[in-house]
Amino acid sequence: MAPITAPESTDPHFHVFDTAIGACGLAWTDKGLFQVQLPEASEVATELRLGRIAGAAWSDTLPKNIAECEARMRAYFEGDPATFTDIDLDMSRVNAFSARIYTALRKVGWGKTTSYGALARQIGDPHAARAIGAAMGKNPWPLVVPCHRVLAASGKIGGFSAYGGRATKRKMLQLEQSDADGAAPKLPGLFD
């Protein structure tokens, strides 16, 4: 059943929904989306983690922007190309440096990848690759801000902070037909 859409709210809210890989969640304010939660080990764990991080109340009534994001996330995990560049983000919880990184990264589309160093050069700070790696680990919007598309300079998969780690990142890249270090051994992830 599709969620009911409602006007924007000044209070933070969150919502958990099923996808092909498990329960995902979204948290938002009137400024936009401020947290995306990819599946944890169980739906309960996903809901608890998102509720704790967001400090928000559960809602089944979603603003149009958030309902659209949910629909696109469902489609993405079914293997359909999905873009999130027009989803409004509430960046009030991130510093200016991270906001620049996340804004630049949103331009890396479906099936494309970049590296930490390339992203550093793109934002005009060529020595910031390590800082960019740290920002990727703290990305509040995995998938919407596609940190899974950022690879190590060698083309290796690199890290991923979502449940399932690198195996989850690899599967997301494979959904986009953009595999990194594809010869690596199979590890369990969200899709297994």
The catalytic site residues sit at 147
> How many Å apart are CA 51 and CA 34, to the nearest integer?
12
Q: Is the dihedral of CA 145, 139, 141, 33 positive or negative?
A: negative
